[in-house]
Amino acid sequence: MTTHFLALETSCDETAAAVFTDELRVLSSVVASQNDLHVRFGGVVPEIASRAHLRNLLPVIDEALRRANRRLADIDCVAVHNTPGLVGALLMGVTAAKALAFALGVPLVAVNHVASHIYACRIAAGRDIFPCVGLVISGGHTALFRCDSPLSLALLGTTRDDAAGEAFDKVAAILGLGFPGGPALEREGRSGDPKAFAFPRSFLDTPQLEFSFSGLKTAVLYACHGQGVSKMTPPPAGRRRADLAASFQEAVVDVLAGKCRQALQQTCLKRLAVGGGVSANGRLREKLLALDAEVFIPPMDLCTDNAAMAALAVEKWKLGDFAAPELDAQPNFL
């Protein structure tokens, strides 16, 4: 008999719901973006995100059920990302999931958002990918893991300051390219020279599996405006701006790919699973796919935050690892 799951995702600024089965068959995946709400601030405003989740959750759940051709009465288990993320945003999803599980009389499974990003590769591959090195790269996280199984992740290294996605957003703001920064910078950089500016690649030639993008962001700022400038007007559209975007992107990609290569060598593993919004970057995919490893990167709709990747809940459901009624949001993970 097939078991049906309803999953919710509200960890940051995407309100998402999905319906999937214990066979990892995704019947529907619905995501409501909040980009239009945050664009004028150049980043996600937690209070605005939480209020938008409150407005969007029920319509998104209804739409996920409609697309899956299922009713609430067909749901056998409710899953929710309860960590990590913005605490107010997480609470929206956790509260809704607890209420649904109680009303339906079905188990509740709590899922780690970061681990789900890696599990998205398992869903897309349609086969086992573990053990592997896992790289999660998003607006909030840049971290490498040794993943012995879907539920066994050991941190190998993380960022000391900005996450890669955060650096993309900040540099896009410096260049006047808008929010979200990742897609805007990639578009701008397509016509630029990635070797035009010799931006720093922190820790690239050191053995520790750590990242730092704050210095790179500052280097772009100085390249645009010089040191000590008080008024920072974004550079005009043209070759120089495109070169800045391309050179910044190349520096980030070099570091990410280089650290993945080191992690694979240090762990003696032959598989790499990559998840998170930054994994949608085309230049990064080129570099990672050129590594001497079996590389798994999910399709675009599974890269950014979504609820389908919470199918990791199936692994916990098989073990009978259910959440208690007092489940709470946990903003910190790393």
Judge whether 8 and 57 are in contact, CB under 8 Å.
yes
Measure the CA–CA gap between 123 and 129, rounded to whole angstroms: 10
Q: Inform me whether the pLDDT recorded for 333 exceeds 70.
A: no
Residues 61, 145, single domain; the answer is no
The pLDDT of residue 229 is 56
Tell me whether residue 51 is in a domain. yes
pLDDT class for 230, splitting at 50, 70, 90?
A: low
Q: What are the respective helix, strand and coil percentages of the chain, to the nearest 5?
A: 45, 20, 35
Mean pLDDT value across residues 226-230 = 62
Pairing of strands 271-275, 132-137: parallel
Residues 296, 251, single domain; the answer is yes
pLDDT tens, 115-149? 999 999 999 999 999 999 999 999 889 999 999 99
> Please, what sign has the CA dihedral across residues 153, 155, 156, 162?
positive
Tell me whether residue 330 is in a domain. no
Q: Residue 56 belongs to a domain with what CATH number? A: 3.30.420.40
Query: Residue 208's domain spans which residues?
Result: 129-300
Residues 143, 66, single domain; the answer is no
Residues 171, 314, single domain; the answer is no
Measure the CA–CA gap between 27 and 217, rounded to whole angstroms: 41
Tell me whether residue 331 is in a domain. no
Tell me whether residue 323 is in a domain. no
pLDDT tens, 65-118? 999 999 999 999 999 999 999 999 999 999 999 999 999 999 999 999 999 999
pLDDT tens, 292-311? 999 999 999 999 999 999 99
Tell me whether residue 184 is in a domain. yes
Judge whether 173 and 179 are in contact, CB under 8 Å.
yes
Tell me whether residue 108 is in a domain. yes
Mean pLDDT value across residues 216-241 = 84
Residues 101, 195, single domain; the answer is no
What is the number of other CB atoms lying within 10 angstroms of the CB of residue 37? 15
CA atoms within 13 A on the CB side of 48: 13
Measure the CA–CA gap between 263 and 266, rounded to whole angstroms: 5
Amino acid letter at 102?
Answer: F
Measure the CA–CA gap between 153 and 111, rounded to whole angstroms: 13
Tell me whether residue 332 is in a domain. no
pLDDT class for 41, splitting at 50, 70, 90?
A: confident
Residues 13, 111, single domain; the answer is yes
The pLDDT of residue 242 is 97
Mean pLDDT value across residues 214-220 = 95
pLDDT tens, 57-66? 999 999 999 9
Judge whether 334 and 143 are in contact, CB under 8 Å.
yes
pLDDT class for 225, splitting at 50, 70, 90?
A: confident
Residues 287, 144, single domain; the answer is yes
Domain count for the chain, please give it. 2
Residues 107, 133, single domain; the answer is no
Q: Please enumerate in sequence order all residues whose Cβ is within 8 A of that of 197, keeping only pairs 6 or more positions apart, or say none.
A: 219, 220, 223, 243, 244, 247, 248
Residues 61, 169, single domain; the answer is no
Residues 234, 312, single domain; the answer is no
What is the number of other CB atoms lying within 10 angstroms of the CB of residue 102? 12
pTM of the prediction? Answer: 0.94
User: What whole-number percentage of the chain has pLDDT above 70?
Assistant: 98
Tell me whether residue 71 is in a domain. yes
Environment class of 205 (CB within 10 Å of its CB; exposed 0-12, middle 13-18, buried 19+): exposed
Residues 252, 136, single domain; the answer is yes
CA atoms within 13 A on the CB side of 86: 20
Q: Please enumerate in sequence order all residues whose Cβ is within 8 A of that of 212, keeping only pairs 6 or more positions apart, or say none.
A: 159, 160, 161, 162, 202, 203
Measure the CA–CA gap between 10 and 232, rounded to whole angstroms: 34
Helix (H) or strand (E) holding 111: strand 108-112
pLDDT tens, 251-296? 999 999 999 999 999 999 999 999 999 999 999 999 999 999 999 9
The pLDDT of residue 111 is 97
Pairing of strands 77-83, 108-112: parallel
pLDDT tens, 147-173? 999 999 999 999 999 999 999 999 999
Residues 294, 310, single domain; the answer is no
